[in-house]
């Protein structure tokens, strides 16, 4: 197993940073940033695979399924972050986009020895959540070889779920481990093996693209506005009113009244104002349009 890990691109030494420990601080930062600057090109190179991944997730979520992100260590934490951001941004129910962290939620803050090496636990976590054919499981592993993630993907296959692997390595990967493999090859890290750096950045960019593209297609965005946001803070309430003002052409006071009348749902408030209908009628228009604001306004 040691020799197998030795072959991974994410475990190689970076010849451009072998002297980093002898450099002044300004030069250390410059080297880090130069390496970071190579990541967007690596991510752009796998755009077609990101599109395929988003299509898979869209298909499953349209059928009532879930997006389930699975990972260990940094990769798992990135999955947790993605799942945590979807409800306030897109008003997704907490059980529609979920994260599974190797070792349990406490490992978001502190690692647990060997958690990532437990393939059976990965499978067990998938079974425990009743994963089925309408779900999409996204395994996240910089090396691609993390046993916990591979165990989860294998069990997801048994359950008939859609499977995606987001990784930064292709060496030794079984192409059958996922329906879609998104492998951005970022090369050796600035600090050897520290995949929270370039690999982590690439992973975040890819997850951003998958989740945002999915939510746009599911009607959570109109133009480039997050019309399904949850206005549960002062900032988000101000944003919701700004969206209503922008899309309905009203002043702040009217936007505020409409938001309250719409049960704090900006999308409903926009339909009420634009179509001059009640909350109930606006909700019915949205339901007929499959939740798509454009359809409710133009239908």
pLDDT tens digits, residue range 193-224?
A: 999 999 999 999 999 999 999 999 999 999 99
- In the set 116, 155, 189, 283, the catalytic residue is 116
pLDDT at 259: 97
CATH number at residue 243: 1.10.8.1080
Residue 3 has pLDDT above 60, yes or no: no
Tell me, yes or no, if 35 is annotated catalytic. Answer: no
Of 171, 188, 217, which residue constitutes the final position of a domain?
Answer: 217
Pinpoint the alpha helices (H) of the chain: 2-6, 25-36, 39-44, 47-62, 73-90, 119-128, 147-158, 198-217, 234-248, 252-261, 266-275, 279-288, 293-298
What is the Cα–Cα distance from 173 to 102, expressed in whole angstroms? 20
pLDDT in tens, 43-85: 999 999 999 999 999 999 999 999 999 999 999 999 999 999 9
Q: Are residues 175 and 273 in the same domain?
A: no
228 lies in a domain? no
Q: Which residue in the list 55, 85, 171, 254 is annotated as catalytic?
A: 85
In the chain, the number of structural domains is: 2
Stretch 38-42: mean pLDDT, rounded? 98
Asked whether residue 224 is domain-assigned, the answer is no
Is residue 113 flagged as an active site residue? no
Split at pLDDT 50, 70, 90, the class of 172 is confident
| pLDDT tens figures, 82-122 | 999 999 999 999 999 999 999 999 989 887 768 899 999 99
> How confident is residue 1, by pLDDT bands cut at 50, 70 and 90?
very low
Last residue of a domain, one of 217, 245, 270: 217
């Amino acid at each position: 197993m040691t020799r197998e890990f030795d072959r991974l691109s994410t475990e190689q030494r970076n010849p451009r940073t072998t002297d980093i420990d002898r450099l002044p601080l300004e030069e250390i930062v410059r080297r880090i940033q130069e390496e970071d600057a190579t990541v967007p090109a690596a991510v752009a190179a796998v755009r077609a695979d990101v599109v395929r991944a988003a299509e898979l997730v869209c298909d499953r979520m349209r059928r009532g399924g879930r997006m389930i992100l699975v990972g260990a260590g940094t990769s798992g934490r990135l999955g947790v972050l993605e799942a945590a951001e979807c409800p306030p941004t897109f008003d997704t129910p907490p059980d529609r986009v979920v994260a599974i962290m190797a070792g349990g939620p406490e490992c978001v803050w502190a690692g647990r020895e060997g958690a990532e090496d437990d393939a059976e636990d990965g499978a067990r976590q998938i079974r425990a959540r009743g994963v089925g054919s309408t779900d999409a499981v996204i395994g996240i592993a910089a090396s691609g070889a993390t046993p916990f993630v591979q165990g989860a993907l294998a069990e997801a296959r048994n359950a008939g779920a859609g499977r995606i692997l987001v990784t930064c390595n292709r060496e030794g990967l079984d192409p059958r481990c996922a329906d879609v493999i998104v492998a951005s090859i970022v090369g050796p890290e600035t600090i050897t093996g520290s995949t929270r750096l370039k690999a982590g950045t690439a992973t975040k960019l890819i997850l951003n693209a998958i989740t945002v593209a999915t939510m746009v297609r599911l009607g959570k965005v109109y133009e480039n506005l997050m019309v399904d946001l949850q206005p549960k803070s002062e900032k988000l309430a101000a944003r919701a009113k700004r969206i209503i003002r922008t899309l309905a052409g009203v002043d702040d006071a009217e936007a505020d009244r409409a938001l309250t009348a719409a049960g704090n749902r900006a999308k409903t408030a926009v339909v009420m104002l634009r179509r001059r209908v009640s909350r109930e009628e606006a909700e019915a228009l949205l339901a007929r349009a499959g939740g798509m604001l454009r359809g409710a306004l133009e239908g």
